[in-house]
Amino acid sequence: MVATHEDINGISVVKTGPRIDSANAGAFETVLVEVVNDATGRTVLDLSELGYISSAGLRVILLAAKTAKKAGRELVLCHMQPTIREIFDVSGFARILTIVPTRDDALAT
C-alpha cells in the first residue's frame, strides 16, 4: 500500500508504505493531496516505514506542502529514517519542509 490515512483528534495522519517511486507516486499524490485539501487543520506525514523514495515521491510531498501552505495549513513530516533524511538534505527539501522526530511531536500543538 502506498499510503494509509487516519484522523487523530481532528488531525489528518498519512502513513506511507516502504517505497515511493515513479510506479506508485501517482497513487501517493491522489491520497496525500486529497487529505491536505480536505483537512481542517494540519496534516501529518508519517514516514516511519519509508525505506526508499525517488524524485517522483519528493515531488508529491513538495506539491502537498505548497498546497497546504497556500491554504494556510501545515504539512508536518515525522519519523524520517536516516537514509531518507540524506535525500531530503541533498535536495534542499529539509530546509523548506517541517520535519520533526516523532508522531507525538507532529501531533502536539
Residues engaged in binding another protein (CB under 8 A): 19, 21-23, 52, 54-56, 58-59, 62-63, 65-66, 69, 83, 86-87, 90-93, 95-97
> CA 43 to CA 50: how far, in whole Å?
17
Nearer CB in complex with another protein: 5/59:
59
Nearer CB in complex with another protein: 45/97:
97
Nearer CB in complex with another protein: 22/102:
22
Q: Which of 79, 11, 84, 23 is nearest to 53 (CA)?
A: 84
Beta strands in 17-70 (DSSP E): 19-20, 43-46, 52-53
